[in-house]
Structure 1
Amino acid sequence: MAIKDYNHKVAERLMRYVQIDTTADPNSTSFPSTEIQKDLGKVLVQELLDLGVEDAEMDEWGYVFGTVKGNTSNDVPTICFCAHMDTAPDVTGKNVKPILHKNYDGNPITLPDDNNQVITTDKHPYLKEKIGDDLITASGLTLLGADDKAGVACIMDFVEYLMGNPGIKHGDIRILFTPDEEVGRGVDHLDMEKLNADYGYTLDGGVQGSIEDESFSADAVKLTVHGVSAHPGYAKGKLINALKLGGKILAALPNDSWSPETTEGREGFVHPTSFDGIQEKATLGFIIRDHETSKLAEYEARLKEIAKSVIDQYPGASFEFEVSEQYRNMKEILKEVPFVTEYVIDAMKKADVTPRPVIIRGGTDGSRLSFMGLPCPNLFTGEMAIHSKHEYVSVQDMQKAVQTMGELVQIWEQHK
């Protein structure tokens, strides 16, 4: 059966998966950050087993593995398809009520559980391309969770297609579902030897045809301000309030540049993400982003100098500046193996999908996987308006993602 004629089940799968709460917790020190992520993992393992994937399993960390065994005599690299099971903590993912909107007509979609939540083409221009498609949304009180359960659904649908059509020639295909991508720890405990794949693709992208092989490079900064505590009734000339110093540091950042709200394209930024403490000690969290890794050190030096210029005005105050690496631009690896991206572009064309190469103003598991020995660009699933109550996905986009995967594994088999 040609994959374009396959009776897709991505919509049913997605609507089932999103009802399982898998919200990640950035403040947790456990792994995965929430045990509930394993609830979906258990479901996926059983579904893979039911489909005939005999080695499907979930390890102690919550990673789900499985192998669709190759059926070719050619010596073909092992390809991994990966998606993450967790959802972002920005909006609740508990009690998600998915709604299927058949044959979208372009009019505003008012979500039934909160009439203030209205999805329009003005706010979401990509919807203009989706008129006539079937859309899935949440009900207005939660996010949908298509990020990245749409990717999970696409991979599962792809597995069912391959297992039911042994005439499609392909090499070994490894399936990987990860926890905690949304809190930046998605591959912290991944056993690459166990994964045992040569090249990979994450299914975690947006508009149909998007292929992302260039991401931000990213660091995190923890800036700790130490003030001087004193009883407020007798504080004159003694108290140096760390909270106020932290506020002064934030106020000293540029207002018209160097921030997410003032940059686009390849422009990087420094973004404060947290601020807490007491008068004696305050902690500020920042994320540092740019597509050129070398610029991260420049940004960090500038941020450190801003902090120093504030703190130096208050003798007795001090600060600590800690930098931690998060991920690096996958392009640094993928430029050495351009065929990994080129094969996807060819596969999209065979699936009647117009390729849309784009850069990521962010990162995916693929960013880190690429530097762990698995060159791994990111493919579209149709997930849009992510991390919000307006999140939606086109069923037809998900189907095209599955069809692209089907064409892709055959291209790999032919190129050996």
Structure 2
Amino acid sequence: MNPQSHVTINRKRLLERFLRYVRIDTAADPSSDGYPSSDKQRTLAELLADELAAMSITDAHIDENALVWGTVPATNGGGSPTVALVAHVDTSPEAPSDSVSPQVIQAYQGGDISLPAGNAITLAGCPALESLVGKTLITTDGRTLLGGDDKAGVAIIMELAQTLIENPHLQHGEVRVLFTCDEEIGRGTDKIDLAKVDAMVAYTIDGGGAGIVDVETFSADAATVHFTGYNIHPAIAKGVMVNAMRAAADFIAGLPRMHLSPESTSERQGFIHPHSIHGGVGDVTVELILRSFDSKELADYADLVRKTANAAAEKTQGVKVSVDVRRQYRNLREGLEKLPQAVDFAEQAFQNLGRKCSKEIVRGGTDGSQLTEKGLPTPNLSSGQHNIHSVTEFACLDEMAQATEHLVELLSLWNEQRS
């Protein structure tokens, strides 16, 4: 079947957008209680709002929470569902993000890619490189992450918006554009007003590679374990000092490594992941994430964390421990079942374009996980990201352009669903 609405994507402009966005440091700050957690996210948000307004999107604006909103008007006279497209402006705080220096590789020749700072993107570490020969890749210089997660998604949505405006013959309903903050630290949907979104369906453009529709995510909780000891000068510590660090070390060592850690699991296996520890002799805090595709299993993981923490505290006399477990998000699958067209149309759009696609599970979460749980079905779509959250991160321009084309075709399918 031929695409209903063929259009040529402006690759040069798409690349320029992406390079412009990744050069702005937008790392989230998990230690902050504010929203956004870092003011630098607002810098990119303001730029995006200005660019949307320059496209003649009359309702383009940034709200008090640095969320960016805009609506591409319908070309079909109305009556079809509003579709929301969502991406996040923040980047992971788990890798350096200051002074990103993107490197553009035209017509990648194959093999390992040496980066200026000395690191390398290897075929062994990223088998996807084998399928990208001849394509345009954007890497870092090896010192920082790139920010393709999720500025690739941001650039795709921005280019889509301008493409739709420049091609009024493309038939579609209202397209709501929404850029969020703090997705990387689990707060991406905290300030979203679903009544303001006012859409039947949404798509996060936040997936890896090409041709993938993510239909399941982990269910997720977070845990904070706090050990309290007593600090005193080590010269007079005998019989008095209570070292909370020893209890914290015993706690982390006591967690399962071989079958319940991220470094030892794959596919549908869940994990308990201690990812941050800070403090000293008197107080130590350990932050963990709990992940499973089965929401009920999270309660078992939480119980294991509590038992391990209590056992560690008992080994160091005088140490006290507290455990706080917090809900984060739930498996995307559970909400998508209420609107099967959300996935069906995404698959059909790939078929109409003559491209292969696959439905996948993602060992993580997206803003779509929380939006779906709140009642707005939101699958996740590919955006050309690779090696995310690392200094060897890269993006593929060809896959980004394909993702933009896919959205044009997807919107045309929703256009046919008149009320």
> Into which bin does the TM-score normalised by the smaller protein fall?
over 0.9
Once residues 6 and 300 of structure 1 are traced to their aligned partners in structure 2, the CA distance between those partners, rounded to angstroms, is: 48
8 Å contact kept, 2:9–2:404: no
Q: In structure 2, which of residues 28, 34, 37 is the aligned counterpart of residue 30 of structure 1?
A: 34
1:213 counterpart residue number: 215
Q: Does structure 2 conserve the Cα–Cα contact (< 8 Å) formed by 1:260 and 1:269?
A: yes
**Of residues 375, 393, 398 in structure 2, which corresponds to 1:373?**
375
- TM-superposed CA distance for 1:386, in Å, is 0.8
Q: Specify the code of the residue in structure 2 equivalent to 1:224.
A: H
Q: Which 10-residue stretch deviates more, 35-44 or 376-385?
A: 35-44
Matched residue, 1:21: 25
Determine the C-alpha separation between the residues in 2 that align with 1:156 and 1:375. Answer: 22
Partner residue in 2 for 1:361: 363
**Displacement of 1:333 after TM fit?**
0.4
Q: Is the 8 A contact 1:288 1:296 kept in 2?
A: yes
8 Å contact from structure 2 (residues 220, 292) kept in 1: yes
Q: Residue 310 in 1 paired to residue 312 in 2?
A: yes
Indicate the residue corresponding to 1:280 in structure 2: 282
Determine the structure 2 residue equivalent to 1:62: 66
DSSP 3-state at the match of 1:307: helix
What SS is found at the alignment partner of 2:411? helix
SS in structure 1 opposite 2:296? helix
**How far, CA to CA, are the matches of 1:320 and 1:7 in structure 2?**
55
Aligned to 1:254: 256
1:5 to 2:8 alignment: yes
**Aligned counterparts, 1:11-410, within 5 A:** 11-73=15-77, 75-112=79-116, 114=117, 116-410=118-412
Secondary structure of the residue aligned to 1:358 is: strand
Q: Distance in 2 between matches of 1:142 and 1:31?
A: 24
Q: Is the 8 A contact 1:74 1:413 kept in 2?
A: no
Find the residue that maps to 2:109 and give its secondary structure: coil
* Alpha-carbon distance in structure 1 between the residues aligned to 2:41 and 2:194: 21
Matched residue SS, 1:29: coil
Amino acid at match of 1:214: E
How far did residue 228 of structure 1 move?
4.1
Q: Distance in 2 between matches of 1:358 and 1:224?
A: 36
What is the letter of the counterpart of residue 349 of structure 1?
A: Q
Deviates more, 1:273-282 or 1:181-190: 273-282
2-side partners of 1:387 and 1:285: how far apart? 19
Query: Cα distance, 1:314 vs. partner?
Result: 4.6
Indicate if the aligned counterparts of 2:246 and 2:316 stay in contact, CA closer than 8 A: no
Which range moved further: 154-163 or 277-286? 277-286
SS of match in other structure, 1:359: strand
Query: What's the CA shift string for 1:136-195, capped at 9, x where partnerless?
Result: 112222211111111011001111111011111111110001111112111111222222
Q: What amino acid sits opposite 1:279 in the alignment?
A: V
Superposition TM-score, scaled by structure 2 size = 0.95
Change (3 A) 1:392 1:231: closer
Deviates more, 1:49-58 or 1:225-234: 225-234
How many residue pairs were aligned? Answer: 414
Amino acid at match of 1:136: I
Residue 235 of structure 1: how far off its partner (Å): 3.5
Preserved contact between residue 208 and residue 353 of structure 1 (Cα < 8 Å): no
**1 CA distance for matches of 2:338 and 2:194?**
20
Closer/same/farther in 2, CA of residues 233 and 365 from structure 1, 3 Å limit: same
Q: Which residue type is aligned with residue 34 of structure 1?
A: S
Q: Percent identity, aligned pairs only?
A: 38
Q: What do the CA deviations read for 1:332-357 (whole angstroms, capped 9, x no partner)?
A: 10122111111100011222321121
Structure 2 residue ranges without an equivalent (≥5): none
Answer yes or no: is the 8 Å Cα contact 2:5–2:412 preserved in 1.
no
TM-score, length of structure 1 as denominator length: 0.96
Letter in 1 for 2:269: E
Shift of 1:51: 1.2
* Aligned AA (2:29): D
What is the one-letter code of the residue matched to 1:103? A
Counterpart-to-counterpart distance in 1, 2:233 and 2:155: 58
> Matched residue of 2:386: which SS?
coil
Cross-structure match for 2:414? 412
Cα deviation, 1:261-301, whole Å, max 9, x if unaligned, reads: 11111111111112222323221111111011100001111
The one-letter code of the counterpart of 2:54 is: D
Aligned-partner SS, 1:105: coil
| 3-state SS, counterpart of residue 285 of structure 2 | strand
Consecutive unaligned residues of structure 1, counting only runs of 5 or more, are: none
SS of aligned partner of 2:205: strand
CA-CA distance at 1:4 after TM superposition: 4.3
Q: CA contact under 8 A between 2:247 and 2:315: conserved in structure 1?
A: no
CA distance in 1, matches of 2:91, 2:250: 34
Measured after TM superposition, the shift of residue 93 of structure 1 is 2.1
